[in-house]
Amino acid sequence: MFALPLGDNAQLRPLEPWHVEEFLSHIDRARPLVDPWIPWATLSTDLASATAVLQRYADRQAADTARIYGIWLDGTLVGGVMFTKFDAASGVCEIGCWLEADGTGRGLVTRACRALIDWAFGERGMSRIEWWVAAGNTRSIEAARRLGMTRDGVLRQHSPYRGVRHDIEIWSVLAEERRVPVSGVKAELDQLMCTFLGAFTNTGGTRPNVDVVREVFIPQGTIIHNTGADPVVYDLDTFIEPRQKMLTDGTLTEFSEWEVTERSEIFGSIAHRFSEYRKSGFLGGEWFEGSGRKTIQFVRTPAGWKMSSMAWDDGQEAS
C-alpha cells in the first residue's frame, strides 16, 4: 500500500473496506460539516452502510471507473479525496473532497487534489477534470478556484436536499491549463476576496467571524450598499456590528456567499476587481437565494495587499 506525504505529518493513502471502523468513526466526527454536501456521509451511519460505501468504491476502482483515498493527519483519518467518476475512454473524470474540522486550515485537500490532478493528467492522459459542487458550498468552490479551475456553468435546481432543490456549479481544468501559474498579486487578491466572503458563513454550525473584515481592509476602509434610492455608506464598525448580530442571533442561518465570476486589473500598487456573486440561507426561517455585483478597490500596504473600498448592488437586504 502506498502512502504519499502531504506535509505537516499528513499522508494520502487508499481508503479500503478494511478501514471501515476507522472510516465510520471519522464520518461521525465529520458529519456536521460534510453532511449537506457529501451524499454518502448521510448513508454511512453504521458498519454495514459504511462498508457498502467503501466496497462500492473498491468495485469501481477494479473497473477503473472511480477511486477513493483517505487523508491521515498524525495517524488519524481526517478526510479524503476521490475520483467520483473516471472515464478513461472519454478522457474526462471528476474529483471531490471532504474534511472533518480537525483537518481544516492546513491546505491538505488542496495538496491531495493536486496529486490526483497530476496523476490523472500525467499518468492516465486525461483531458478534462471536473468539480461538481452545490452552489452554497463555499469551501468547495474556494478549493476549485485554488486548484486553478474555471467555472463552466450552473445546473439549476439540479439536486434536492431536505426538501429544497439546489443549483450545482460545474468547474473544470483542462490538461493544457494545469501548468498556467497565477500571478502572486492575483493570488493575493483572490485570497482577500475568499477571506472576506468566508467571514459571513454560518452553514453547518460554522461560527461566522465578521471581525475578519478589519483584517482585509485598511482601517479607513469604506463599504457602500448601492441598492435603493440612495447609497448607504458604512465605515468598518457600522458595517460589521449589525451583520455579526444577524448571523449569530438566529435571524440569518445557513448563510453563505460566494463569487461566481470576477475580473481583476492590477496597476502597480493599486488594483480593481469587478465581481459577481451568489448567496443563500434562511432569513427569519425562510429560505432565500440571491445574486449581485461588487466592485472592490485594493491598495498595496507594508503589510501586503488590502481592500480600500467596496460597493455592492444586489436588491437583497440579507447581506
Q: What is the pLDDT of residues 267-278, one digit of tens each?
A: 888 999 999 988
Quote the pTM value: 0.60
Domain edge (last residue) among 121, 151, 177: 177
Q: Could you tell me if 99 and 61 lie in one domain?
A: yes
What is the pLDDT at residue 71? 95
Verify that 27 and 101 share a domain, yes or no. yes
Residues 27 and 247: their CA atoms lie apart, in Å, by 27
Answer whether residue 233 is part of any domain. yes
CA 35, CA 42: separation in Å to the nearest integer?
6
Residue 318 has pLDDT above 50, yes or no: no
- For residues 130 and 227, membership in a common domain is answered with no
CATH of the domain at 244: 3.10.450.50
Q: What is the pLDDT of residue 214?
A: 92
CATH code, domain carrying 122: 3.40.630.30
> What mean pLDDT is reported for the chain?
87
Which pLDDT score is estimated for 62?
A: 96
Q: Hey, how many other C-beta atoms are within 10 angstroms of the C-beta on 4?
A: 14
Give per-residue pLDDT as tens, 85-133: 999 999 999 999 988 888 887 788 888 998 899 899 988 999 999 999 9
Total domains in the fold of the chain: 2
Residue 319 lies in a domain: no
Domain's final residue, options 177, 208, 242: 177
Helix or strand (DSSP H, E) at 68: strand 67-73
200, 210 in Cβ contact below 8 A? Answer: yes
What range does the domain containing 224 cover?
184-313
Q: Where are the alpha helices (DSSP H) in the chain?
A: 20-34, 39-43, 47-62, 108-122, 138-146, 184-198, 212-216, 236-248
Does 146 or 307 have the greater pLDDT score?
307
Cα 251 to Cα 247: distance, rounded to the nearest angstrom: 7
Looking at the structure, tell me whether residues 19 and 158 fall in a common domain.
yes
